[in-house]
Structure 1
Amino acid sequence: MKNFSCLILICSILISCKRDKYTTWDTNMTAPLVNSELTVEELLQSENVIANEDSSLKIVYSSELFSITTDSFAQLPDTTFELSASLENLELPNDTIEVRITMGEIMRNSDNFIIQALYNLHGSPSPFSASTSIEVSGESFDFSMVELFDELTLDTGVAEVVLSNEMQYDLTNIQFQLGNAPQPGGDLLISDTYSSLAKGSTISETYSLDSGTVILSDLVGQIINLNVSVNLIAGVTIIDTSEYISAKIIVKEIKPSEAIAVWPDQNIIEVTDEVPFASNVTIDFKEATIRGGELYFEIESTINDSIFLTYTIPNLVKDDVDTFSVDVVVPPSTDSSEGNRTTLIKSYPMTGYHFTFNGLGYSTPTLDDDEINKYVTKLTAKIKYTGEKKRISLSDRLYVKAQVRDLLPTHASGFLNNKIVSSGPSVVSFEAFNQIKSGQFDIEDVNFEIEVDNGIGGSAEAEFLEVKGTNFKGEEVLLDFMGNETMEINSAKYQGDIENYRTEHITTTKSLDPNNSNIDDFIENLPKEISYNVNVELNANVPNPGERAIVENDTPPNFIHYLDEVKARLNMEIPLSIVTDSLVLVDTLDFNLNTNNDNEVESGKFKLLVNNGFPFDANTSLYFMDETGLIIDSLWIDQTITRGTVNNSGVVSSPVQSVIEFEISKEQMENIQLASKLYIEAGFHTFDITNPEKEYYKIYSHYSFGVKLVGDFKYQFSN
């Protein structure tokens, strides 16, 4: 197996190279340019490199692969309560009007001379005895309801006529009618005949008024005919002109279809509705606490009066006491004609409320009536008494759209059913090999696992559709799971309100080794990024427990908290025991070739002194770059940097120094003097990577790698 650890180590070495302080020199003197000694302390500055008890090293690396939020599994649906209706009813208050016809009025208007003679004897006994019938006709009286309305068209209504005989004479053949003023001419509302009304008695008749009947505020009541049976006994019958017949008109239960009226307080629309989730909602929700979302109101009214609208969701409560309810005042429309309407749009936040989706079960203390995926709305629209006359009709319409939308749960419970959530295709960085440019190496051993931390209350199954590594050269290796692409993920544990509904996370791992995957090839490709495509199936092979279990169980089948996600990581541990062939590491250092301005470097040499305390040979190239990173010159040779001396235990006992010389021409020197960066490329190898008996070398904490670059220059002095 190719070993990644050594590469990282050598890479870290090059990164840690430091330049000596620059000095001045004279002709024929050697000047140090870069001097660095990589010690174990510097090596261990890498948080990924850890020393074992025997001082050998290992690479420990962890990288996030993917994460899936709870909103991907449990999205609360938008729901809409929509009402477009004319008014259910309109009501006007009952009203009573009473008139009286006295005996004196009857006597004055009578053609009977006997009756006329008695008119002036009020309070005196009759001077004679007589028995006669007096016919009375043409008596009329006005009723005014102008303080209540100007005009109304009935939907339904009742008028009650009460006649009381407060005289000492019996009445017969009473013909009565009631109609709109003027009479004659106005529409008749009531016309009836009562055969008799004994003295001291009362009769009452109730009349249903026809739908569509128009009633004006000014009414006229008429006695078309009335017979008074007068029996006089001389000296006994006392003449009383104040005796009267009472006619009482009671207008009640008036529900107009249209009226210009002073309207009393009344509810014009009352609706209680159970709102279910849409049929395509695949989640069975029991309850949820809301961290975001709103009630969106859109209201249109053609009613020529202010509408006081109350919308309540009794299933939505804050702090166990505050039921969600909003009050909206809809301004009056100018008139009821088409196109003339008032439009009002409002929204109300629902953050902090707890939603119990138990439908009508909210009103009962037990769980017997509880449902799932339902809630109740109550809408009341009312008009209030203002003392002003307004035209309102049953054809007026009120449109209400109440939308619960964009809900985000803090926590929720129920059964999330079988749901597949995809993560990817996506790419994540893999930084373990960032300093390795190219090459081959063989890892003796590697421990690699996919770790899933599950904060969702539900088991799941992950299917790795594709995991692919790409190195710096663009070469790709597809991770082969050898037919075992799935991973079972255990459910988080329910903690309820003890932990504010946060869940107890459960970690599941899937180990990869050469027996169940091609993980060695995958790692030895030195990936700099990993692309993946994963499906996570919640409740895979888990049946729906049914509504009663969802409602009644103390521990819900599924539960989520928005802070508790599903996260997957790639964990890798590689002992630094490797064989390498042309493993190329790179590093970039600051560089500044200081010279005396009065002198000019004509030519010279660079010497690269390397004390190699690692068990690998190497070769190197140097590239000089300007401030923009552009390479302006280079030095390279094939000379080998010899590995350290290795004892019989495979441990470096002493470093070996290699000296590499570079001849620098005057033209090259002029270029190098412009450089501000030194780019070093080193290739390490053991030259036995294909040998089946190749030897793996461990890397120990006492290994070091010294690098010194010096210059030996020839100067031309100025006059």
Structure 2
Amino acid sequence: MRFHKLSLLKLVLTAFILTVLIMISCQKPGKNLSWESDILVPLIHSSLGVDDIFTDSLLVENPDQSFKLVLDQKINTMDNNALIEVHDTIAEDVFNVNIPVPFKLNPGQKILEKNTDFMMKLGDVRLSKAKAKKAILKFLVISNFKQPMRVKYKVLSSEKNSIPFEITDDIPAAAAGSEVKLIREIDLSGYNIDFTGLNHNSINTIRSSTTIWISPNADTAYYSKADSITVTSIFDKLQLESALGYFGQKNQMIADSSILNTFQNFKSGSFSLENLSAELQINNYVGADFQVRINKITSANSSTGKQLDLNDAIVGRRLNILRASRTSDDISSITPQKYTYSLNNSNVKDLLMNMPDKLSYQIEYNINPLGNVSGGNDFIFADKSLEGNIHIEIPLKVKMDSLVIQSYSKINFDSESHIKSGYLNIYVANLFPFDVEIQFYVLDDHKNIVDSLLKENSISRHGTIDNNGIVIKATNDILRVKLDAELIQKLKTSKEVLIWARINNPQQKHYLLYQNYNIDIKLIVEANYEY
């Protein structure tokens, strides 16, 4: 909807009132002065164009100024987080005094320094390197020492800005016969992780270091074998930004849906397309082979409840997708494997004419169907994985059947004006190849309809169409609405008018839509004012 705020009413009335005041100032005492004047004031100038029928962002103008609709609907073909799941203990260090007789420990004395290589249980996944996109490490210390302790924990396998992660914390003294627990949740997001261990010849291995001291603030005390302290670290959540290794063999089912806004302007009715071209695109940015099977793609219209499934040879067929390649560790060096499958022989046109607001799908994929053919050199980046897309190009050669659209236009009908009588003149110029049934509704502040301007819907006939099916001249109509006291009061209190249009195609032909096609609408107040 394109509209202009053309309320000149206040300006005109101000000039008029100033004139009246000057005349009054010249009037002889005892005389009453009354003025009447006929004024034409634009109230609304609006238009309904092709972008009010189809979503503007999807329209592409051709060189001949006709329109086509270009749709790209993303399909989630895989869940990166489910590809490599990490939830495991990475280290557990226990210090026991374990001496039959009590012995003395001094404040600040180191009692444990230990490096640990811990191999995580990741099934047939074999990781060598990764970068954490989102990582939460739970750090748990349990102590029954009767003096405060100090613990330093370092993840030697991690690195951020060339510095490994470490944490140092003080543990309070435990009361007699009890223990104290310290739990920390540590954010390791953005850290690089080396899973190859001390000699860089392992997999799935985290190397860590634990150091324990008697706190410098402790008292000198004697300790027995009943005293102990346990330090445990667990990956509670690990989502990878990138990873290198072998990702195992896994079968996963994706059942998802996406919202379609293509037909959001359609309130009811239907339309028909003459032709279109459509294809399924699969781009593999992962350094691993896949087998993909599309089990179902469904077009769903929530208003009508109607659902249609895609009918094409690609449904249920296994698609072999080869791995991507790369020349460095940088994501920009990836060369994806790209596949295109035509949907031109499918019923995709029927799926679109269902005017869906949701597209749902079920997709199954297998990773590494032939096993570890890369020798542990699979790679993945979270921002570039296995991507699916349905690409559709539709020349907007269409036929409309009672297709309803609507739009809103601001008005500013002067609430202080003294209208004695008049008309609201509505000028409609139809440059579409379709008939348009039109109505105007006055709205309150909550967008509720309080009145209609026309007693019955008016039909604006299609423009003049030449032998090539192109509209060369608009059909013009003038509608006059009498301004009675009730309607005047409603217009004074309203800030918005709803323009309602039902588009019909009496010729039952498909017409190509052009950039200049629109319905131009002007509302002009022709009123008699009295002061």
For this structure pair, what is the TM-score category when the shorter chain's length is used for normalisation?
0.7 to 0.9
Q: Paired residue for 1:706?
A: 520
Report whether the alignment pairs 1:443 with 2:263: no
Q: Paired residue for 2:142?
A: 300
In structure 2, do the counterparts of structure 1 residues 597 and 406 end up closer, same or farther at CA, with 3 Å as the change threshold?
A: closer
The Cα of 1:575 is off from its aligned counterpart by 1.1
Counterpart among 581, 592, 610 of residue 401 in structure 2: 581
Q: Secondary structure at the match of 1:391?
A: strand
In structure 2, do the counterparts of structure 1 residues 303 and 447 end up closer, same or farther at CA, with 3 Å as the change threshold?
A: same
Residue identity (%): 20
Report whether the alignment pairs 1:681 with 2:507: no
Residues 494, 501 of structure 1: 8 Å contact kept: no
Report whether the alignment pairs 1:285 with 2:127: yes
Q: In the TM superposition, what whole-angstrom CA distance separates every residue of 1:371-421 from its partner, at most 9, and x where no partner exists?
A: 3223455657688999x9753334543433233443343321122234455
Q: Paired residue for 1:544?
A: 371
The Cα of 1:450 is off from its aligned counterpart by 4.4
In structure 2, do the counterparts of structure 1 residues 414 and 481 end up closer, same or farther at CA, with 3 Å as the change threshold?
A: farther
Q: Paired residue for 1:193?
A: none
Supply the distance in 2 between the matched residues of 1:568 and 1:272 (Cα, whole angstroms). Answer: 45
- Unpaired runs of 5+ residues, structure 1, are 1-14, 91-256, 365-369, 551-555, 690-694
Supply the distance in 2 between the matched residues of 1:324 and 1:47 (Cα, whole angstroms). Answer: 46
Supply the distance in 1 between the matched residues of 2:437 and 2:94 (Cα, whole angstroms). Answer: 84
Supply the distance in 1 between the matched residues of 2:107 and 2:525 (Cα, whole angstroms). Answer: 106
Supply the distance in 2 between the matched residues of 1:37 and 1:377 (Cα, whole angstroms). Answer: 69
Q: Paired residue for 1:363?
A: 199
In structure 2, do the counterparts of structure 1 residues 661 and 448 end up closer, same or farther at CA, with 3 Å as the change threshold?
A: farther
The Cα of 1:696 is off from its aligned counterpart by 1.9
1:209-288 aligned within 5 A: 257-260=100-103, 274-278=117-121, 281=123, 283-288=125-130
Q: In the TM superposition, what whole-angstrom CA distance separates every residue of 1:333-353 from its partner, at most 9, and x where no partner exists?
A: 67xx7x255655556665565
Q: Paired residue for 2:450?
A: 632
Counterpart code for 2:369: V
- Normalising by structure 2, we get a TM-score of 0.76
Counterpart code for 2:101: E
Q: In the TM superposition, what whole-angstrom CA distance separates every residue of 1:610-664 from its partner, at most 9, and x where no partner exists?
A: 2222211222122111233121211253553221222222222322223444455
In structure 2, do the counterparts of structure 1 residues 276 and 697 end up closer, same or farther at CA, with 3 Å as the change threshold?
A: same
In structure 2, do the counterparts of structure 1 residues 86 and 685 end up closer, same or farther at CA, with 3 Å as the change threshold?
A: same
Counterpart among 343, 353, 360 of residue 524 in structure 1: 353
1:345-360 aligned within 5 A: 345=183, 350=188, 353-359=191-197
Q: Secondary structure at the match of 1:522?
A: helix
In structure 2, do the counterparts of structure 1 residues 636 and 521 end up closer, same or farther at CA, with 3 Å as the change threshold?
A: farther
Report whether the alignment pairs 1:77 with 2:71: no
The Cα of 1:470 is off from its aligned counterpart by 1.9
Residues 22, 594 of structure 1: 8 Å contact kept: no
Q: Secondary structure at the match of 2:375?
A: helix
- Unpaired runs of 5+ residues, structure 2, are 14-35
The Cα of 1:573 is off from its aligned counterpart by 2.2
Supply the distance in 1 between the matched residues of 2:330 and 2:105 (Cα, whole angstroms). Answer: 58
Q: Paired residue for 2:470?
A: 651
Residues 62, 68 of structure 2: 8 Å contact kept: yes
Q: Secondary structure at the match of 1:77?
A: coil
Q: Paired residue for 2:27?
A: none
Q: Secondary structure at the match of 2:287?
A: coil
Q: In the TM superposition, what whole-angstrom CA distance separates every residue of 1:53-102 from its partner, at most 9, and x where no partner exists?
A: 333222234455548663342333332433556445x5xxxxxxxxxxxx
Counterpart among 262, 268, 278 of residue 432 in structure 1: 262
Q: Secondary structure at the match of 2:358?
A: strand
Residues 306, 329 of structure 1: 8 Å contact kept: yes
Q: Secondary structure at the match of 1:258?
A: coil
Residues 295, 362 of structure 2: 8 Å contact kept: yes
The Cα of 1:443 is off from its aligned counterpart by 0.8
* Larger mean Cα displacement after TM superposition, 323-332 or 634-643: 323-332
Q: In the TM superposition, what whole-angstrom CA distance separates every residue of 1:537-591 from its partner, at most 9, and x where no partner exists?
A: 251x613217x922xxxxx12x122333555444432212112222222121123
In structure 2, do the counterparts of structure 1 residues 605 and 571 end up closer, same or farther at CA, with 3 Å as the change threshold?
A: farther
Q: In the TM superposition, what whole-angstrom CA distance separates every residue of 1:201-225 from its partner, at most 9, and x where no partner exists?
A: xxxxxxxxxxxxxxxxxxxxxxxxx
Supply the distance in 2 between the matched residues of 1:68 and 1:630 (Cα, whole angstroms). Answer: 45
Please say which structure displays the higher CA radius of gyration: 1
In structure 2, do the counterparts of structure 1 residues 269 and 61 end up closer, same or farther at CA, with 3 Å as the change threshold?
A: closer
Counterpart code for 1:545: N
Q: How many residues align?
A: 503
* Larger mean Cα displacement after TM superposition, 448-457 or 578-587: 448-457
RMSD between aligned residues: 4.5
